[in-house]
Copies of this chain bind each other. A is one copy, B any other.
Amino acid sequence: MQPIRIGILGMGTVGGGTAKLLSENAQEITRRLGREVRISMAASHNTDRIRKLCPSDTVVSDDVFQVARSADVDIVVELIGGTDTAREVVLCAIENGKHVVTANKKLLAEYGNEIFALAAEKNVMVMFEAAVAGGIPIIKALREGLAANRIKSVAGIINGTSNFILSNMRSHGSPFAEVLKQAQELGYAEADPTFDIEGHDAAHKLSIMSALAFGTPINFQHCYLEGISKLESQDIRYAEELGYRIKLLGITRKTDEGIELRVHPTLVPECRLLAQVEGVMNAVLVQSNMVGETLYYGAGAGAAPTASAVVADIIDTARLMHAASEQRVPPLAFRCNEQLPVLPIDEITSSYYLRVSAQDKPGVVANIGRILAEQSISIEALLQKGVINHENAEIVILTHQSKEKHIKAAIAQIEALEHVFEPVMMLRMESLHG
């Protein structure tokens, strides 16, 4: 059979990794697919890098649009990142009847609905396994492996930078700023780490998984997000004393009222596998109505793991390039989406961790207890810690489930108490059962 002709856009870390993988594993890929995968064209502003990394017969270009329009390309592999050129060139490739494989979570989170609509019109495939959790085949699991289930929730550690920072804050007892610096030195965090540590990256990935899980359009614009930079060392420590670890989780859940879609630091019982995921590794836990819980773990980033997902998509696309649309899995798993409301964060239900800084005076705990009781919030655990010459105390409370608006009302009242002198630290807790 004729080789599959791919055109790679972008020759950065992932582009280079993809070229390298296709060369190193060429023999096994051909044994699986029954035909060769050939890089017929590649475009990058760094054409030298293409010449260095791609086969000698690859047509080299500095114009991604040339590749997107080329008659010598079956599948366009978009690895330039960002949303400006990436969006334009992906739409251009689809207009020209090319199938698209992309690793670009931001592009899909922000423009996926537009891109998938055009792809349906033009009857081409858009594949994106690499966009979520790197090399873990979680998109395939959600779209195909769990297709017999009604999915109830998805909760994932889907940002390696944040997980590295949280793991090291716990294992070394170090403050956030120090571990961030270390992560930057190791290349696990960018010079401007905002995108990772404030949850934007996780929100992109979560929005994609949520659409796949529940059959909705992508709802990134409604995703609630809260990062890890606000965490203090003692929160990690208190959580641990109480049997929990703090993880930056992306959580999406279908309730009778609508979809929860939120990224925030979360206390997870330490006995749960998700709590044991350390360093830059990723993991996604899916709760479904038939199979129950399944978990998928692996490297969420890096050249080779991401290329692993990109090339798996190329292989899948190569098989079904000439298939009828009903023979393919729809990009967002369902043949027809239904728009479900995304719940405002105040309407979600969760358990909570509260840390109250107060002067160590009689009555403070009693007052806090009274305020929580008035909001019908019951207490699961309470820990009081003396700090600074025992004049001040930190009171840590774990609550049972409550609507977020009630916990916020309680917090406002606690902060107004006479001896409470700092804003209350509030974190969400998840048992991750169902």
* Residues of chain A having any CB pair with chain B under 8 Å: 1, 21, 24-25, 28-29, 31-35, 129, 134-137, 140-141, 144-150, 215, 273, 276-277, 288-299, 304-305, 307-312, 314-316, 319-320, 322-323, 326-330, 333-336
Please state if A135 and B298 are interface contacts (CB–CB under 8 Å). no
User: Within 8 Å CB of A330, what residues of B?
Assistant: 32
With a cutoff of 8 Å between Cβ atoms, the chain B residues found around residue A308 in the complex are 146, 148-149, 288, 290-291
A307 to B310, CA, bound (A): 30
Subset of 17 A-B contacts with CB under 8 Å? A21-B148, A24-B289, A25-B148, A25-B150, A29-B147, A134-B291, A135-B292, A135-B294, A137-B146, A147-B311, A148-B311, A273-B297, A293-B299, A294-B299, A319-B329, A323-B323, A327-B327
In contact, A34 and B335 (Cβ under 8 angstroms): yes
Tell me the smallest distance from the CB of A150 to a CB of chain B, in Å: 5
The answer for the CA separation of A288 and B323 in the assembled complex, in Å, is 30
CB distance from A288 to the nearest CB of B (A): 7
Q: Are A147 and B312 touching (Cβ within 8 A)?
A: yes
Cβ-defined contact, A147 with B32, below 8 A: yes
Question: A319's contact among B148, B310, B328, by CB below 8 Å, is which?
Answer: B328
Closest Cβ neighbor of A25 among chain B residues: B150
Bound CA span A297–B274, Å: 11
Let me know if A28 and B150 touch, CB within 8 A. Answer: yes
Q: Is the CB of A144 within 8 A of B137?
A: yes
For A1, what are the chain B residues with a Cβ–Cβ distance below 8 Å? 326
* Pairwise interchain contact B293-A307, C-beta atoms closer than 8 A: no
Q: Contact at B316–A144, with CB atoms within 8 Å?
A: yes
Task: Give every chain B residue within 8 A of A298 (Cβ-Cβ).
Answer: 291-295
Known interface pairs A146-B312, A297-B297; 10 further A-B residue pairs with C-beta atoms within 8 A, sorted by A's residue number: A1-B326, A32-B147, A32-B330, A137-B140, A141-B145, A147-B311, A148-B312, A149-B308, A292-B305, A293-B299
- Enumerate the 10 nearest inter-chain pairs by beta-carbon distance, A residue then B residue, closest first: A137-B145, A135-B291, A148-B311, A294-B298, A291-B308, A295-B297, A290-B308, A290-B304, A34-B335, A291-B305
The residue on B at minimum CB distance from A282 is B294
Report yes or no: A294 in contact with B291, Cβ–Cβ below 8 A.
no
Q: Is the CB of B148 within 8 A of A335?
A: no
Residue of B nearest to A149 (CB): B308
A124 CB to nearest chain B CB (Å) = 16
Would B137 and A25 count as touching, CB distance under 8 A? Answer: no
Q: Establish whether residues B319 and A32, one from each chain, have CB atoms under 8 Å apart when the complex forms.
A: no
> Cα distance A97–B150 when bound, in Å?
32
| A145 interface neighbour in B21, B150, B289, B312, Cβ under 8 Å | B312
Across-interface contacts of A32 in B (CB, < 8 A): 147, 215, 330, 333-335
List B contacts of A277 (CB < 8 A). 273
Provide the residues of chain B in CB contact with A311, threshold 8 Å: 147-148
A120 CB to closest chain B CB (Å) equals: 13
Q: Contact between A31 and B326 (Cβ–Cβ < 8 Å)?
A: no
Whether B136 pairs with A215 at a CB distance below 8 angstroms is: no
